[in-house]
Amino acid sequence: MGKSRLATEGLEVARSQGLPSAWGVATQTAAAIPFGALAHLLPNRIPAAPDRENVLRVVADAMVEGMGSRRFVLGVDDAHLLDDHSAALIHHVSLTNRAFVLLTVRTGTLAPDAVTSLWKDQICERLEVLPLSREETVALLELAVNSQVDGTSSHRLWQLTAGNPLYLREVVRGVVESGRFRQEDGLWRLVGDLGPSVRLSEVLSSRLAGLDAVERETLELVALGEALEVEILDSLAPPIATKRLVERGLVEALTLRDRAMVRTSHPLYGEMIRADIPSVRAAAAFESLAQELEQIEDPGSDDLLRITAWRLAAGTGGTPSQLLRAASLALGVFDYALAERASRAAAQQGSFEARQLLAAALMGQGKFEEADEALVALVAATPDHAGRGRAVLMRAENLFWNLGQEHASDSLLSAAEDQIADPAVRLELQAARAQQLLLTGRVQLAVATALPLLDRPHLTDRALMAALGAAGESLAYLGHPVQASKLLDRHMTRVTAALPGFALGPIAVLTYRTLVALFAGRLIEGARFALERHEEAVGGPQSWIAGYTAGILGLLLRAQGRIRSAARYFREAAVLLGDADIGGQRHAFMAEMAGSLALDGDCATAESVLRDADAARLPAHRLTESWVLLPRIWITACRGEVSTAISEALNVADWARSLGFASQEAIALHDIVRLGEPRRGAERLSELALTCDGELIPAFARHANALVSRDSPAVERESHAFEEMGAYLLAAEAAAEASRLYRDKSV
């Protein structure tokens, strides 16, 4: 593994020492040179009755003389395949000190003694070439395609190839040729299933050659069930077959959840084996695996998901209660496809819970219209008040968040509040209304509606998360991010306990903490937290979650002034949310991407992206307008129309003030300061600094007033203050301003 990288590194070392390369002159491949053939190659140099030592000496001398007086590189790929005589020749040449010997040996193979003695006797240095890390895989991928690759796709490719550069090259070649890896809006991404190409399958087939029928069937069970409990495998296949597969390096043992388990030793082996299993045999195997797993002691939720997935693959399904439980668990881990299959199978019995789970699974996959149809039927068919209330709530949220139908959603919620007597459901409806007040820009009313709910009895976890988000995020927009942070801290114990049963809870917490970080000036902490959540999301099953976390991370990076990195993550968000724009945030992230491009000087692309952002807008989501209006200022400035940009910033500040968006108003006013007109923003920023909390807005006001008074030390102090917050671009700008003021005073 990684032989080509080792060879490249070795040759670079040789070149740095001015050594000519004999790679391809002496021993291009590991094709063994038979001992007798040496006499044919050098007929005039070999004695009539040669012994082994004489032949090696003559051949080695000839190779050395042929390269002149300089030291040369002798490279051998797959040196473990050399015969003993060829290996001895390489060893002999290395002892002359005239050759820089570079050998590659595959991990887990036996090499001739003459080769192994090279590093055992410290004649050569042994370097262990490890698989590529995920970061190295991303770098190699983007170098190969000369463009950005989305995080979810690069993670999938890294997982599938396990960091093997050869496998990575062949998999990428295969998916490019098949059209499953393509560029969309400047971002390369995978579309559809992955698997080895024909060329790679031929390479992998050599590792599987020679298996007998029992070994093949055992390997198929491992591939279908991986990772698979040893206890289950031993009940379905002879343990000796498993032992032989381990010895051949096709299967490896591991411990998961305190269980002894096995899996294929490389993910691609499993992919290829599963693709070759006839469907009838696979169905029978899945049924056997499910039956055996049901006998495991202390089954967990993961076991139920596996049993259900296997039975659905076998065509046997399961009991309605098993299917319902599995569908609920699948929603909790964002496996919406499995949740849909399980809930559809359970919904044949006509249960309310199954149909509700089916609607949730459809929404999770971006099938918003289909989900609405299912929910309309569910509301009409549910006589129970509490059940109908929750069905109405789901439909109202889908209409508002995903379809942008504000008035239809509001009418549903109003009618339900009048009809539903259940106090817990009524609180959920009221919390949902508070969330919608926030998103429609009525943040003061959202706080007034949501805060009292947090102290009510009968408050469900769902109502808690909705009301807390509405109140806290509204406080952040109103210029009180520290109050919002304290509110979250006050309820964090219950939030933490509720998260496992609330699939989108981590996303809600991320949004909340991001707004606090942005408006309180806690950018370093916020960016670190957002990066952690994004790293988790790219390894998950839903690309839209990775897209949303990418956009959130982009907001924090843009605030830090890491403009190109921000644009990268906004681009990823825009593409991934194109599949399922749950929550309608694609519009805002695309606009922020346009603003980042403008700050980087790419005006034309910025304007094009902004036009696309406007096309993605959901009219109900007026709160996101602030995230669209602010980037327009910098797109105008990018065109060189600074005075117009200042006028636009003043208009944005007035608009934000009319809605009570103190934090957004302050950002717009500080943009005016950055554009060279501190006097036009200083007074109002000073007023906001008196009423808002956090570090950011007071720093804006101090910066503006220091520029107005041309107080160079004060401007320099604000540069340091911005730097401590993590607002590095603002810090650099303030440092440059301070430098100019110092210079002007010295003239």
In a domain, 128, yes or no: no
pLDDT of residue 60: 67
pLDDT of residue 296: 84
User: Which domain CATH number covers 478?
Assistant: 1.25.40.10
pLDDT of residue 66: 63
Instruction: Give the contacts of 289 (CB within 8 A, at least 6 positions apart).
Output: 221, 224, 225, 228, 232, 236, 310
Q: What percent of the chain has pLDDT over 90?
A: 50
Claim to verify: residue 363 and residue 481 sit in the same structural domain: yes
In a domain, 129, yes or no: no
Query: Of the given ranges (24-28, 489-493, 679-683), which has the lowest mean pLDDT?
Result: 24-28
Instruction: Give the contacts of 518 (CB within 8 A, at least 6 positions apart).
Output: 476, 481, 526, 555, 556, 559, 663, 696
Q: Each residue of 48-60: pLDDT tens digit? A: 545 555 666 676 6
Whole-Å CA distances, 45 to 39, 93, 562: 8, 17, 67
In a domain, 126, yes or no: no
In a domain, 608, yes or no: yes
Q: By C-alpha distance, which of 110, 68, 73 is closest to 93?
A: 73
Whole-Å CA distances, 440 to 392, 400, 431, 465, 519: 20, 10, 14, 18, 20
pLDDT bracket for residue 402 (50, 70, 90): confident
Mean per-residue pLDDT of the chain: 86
Burial of 256 (0-12, 13-18, 19+ CB in 10 A): exposed
User: Is 327 in contact with 347 (CB distance < 8 Å)?
Assistant: no
DSSP state of 567: H
Residues paired with residue 187 on neighbouring β-strands, in sequence order: 148, 184
Q: 65: which 2 tokens? A: 């003389």
Claim to verify: residue 365 and residue 397 sit in the same structural domain: yes
pLDDT at 747 over 70: no
Cα–Cα distance measured from residue 446 to residue 697, given in angstroms and rounded to the nearest whole number:
23
Claim to verify: residue 449 and residue 598 sit in the same structural domain: no
Claim to verify: residue 291 and residue 372 sit in the same structural domain: no
Claim to verify: residue 309 and residue 378 sit in the same structural domain: yes
Claim to verify: residue 456 and residue 416 sit in the same structural domain: yes
Q: Angle between the 352-364 and 368-380 helix axes, to the nearest 10 degrees?
A: 160
Q: From 195, 227, 244, give the residue that closes a domain.
A: 195
Q: Which domain holds residue 156?
A: 134-195
Claim to verify: residue 335 and residue 395 sit in the same structural domain: yes
Q: From 57, 88, 120, give the residue that closes a domain.
A: 120
Claim to verify: residue 323 and residue 410 sit in the same structural domain: yes
pLDDT of residue 41: 43
Instruction: Give the contacts of 676 (CB within 8 A, at least 6 positions apart).
Output: 642, 646
Instruction: Give the contacts of 583 (CB within 8 A, at least 6 positions apart).
Output: 401, 402, 548
Cα-trace Rg, the chain: 33
Residue of higher predicted confidence among 498 and 430: 430
Maximum average pLDDT range among 298-302, 417-421, 561-565: 561-565
Claim to verify: residue 700 and residue 727 sit in the same structural domain: yes
Q: 687: which 2 tokens? A: 């007023």
Residue 602, H or E segment = none
Q: What percent of the chain has pLDDT over 70?
A: 90
In three-state secondary structure terms, 252 is strand
Q: Each residue of 538-548: pLDDT tens digit? A: 988 888 889 99
Cα–Cα distance measured from residue 407 to residue 417, given in angstroms and rounded to the nearest whole number:
15
Q: 627: which 2 tokens? A: 């995230």
User: Is 90 in contact with 76 (CB distance < 8 Å)?
Assistant: yes
Instruction: Give the contacts of 337 (CB within 8 A, at least 6 positions apart).
Output: 361, 365, 541
Q: 473: which 2 tokens? A: 């995020």
pLDDT at 81 over 90: no
Q: By C-alpha distance, which of 384, 403, 389 is closest to 432?
A: 389
- Start-to-end CA distance of the chain, whole Å, equals 65
Q: Each residue of 164-222: pLDDT tens digit? A: 888 898 888 888 888 889 998 889 998 877 767 777 787 788 778 888 999 999 999 99
User: Is 584 in contact with 399 (CB distance < 8 Å)?
Assistant: no
Mean pLDDT of 61-71: 68
Q: From 278, 302, 326, give the residue that closes a domain.
A: 302
H helices within 600-661, ranges in order?
Answer: 603-615, 625-638, 642-659
pLDDT of residue 608: 92
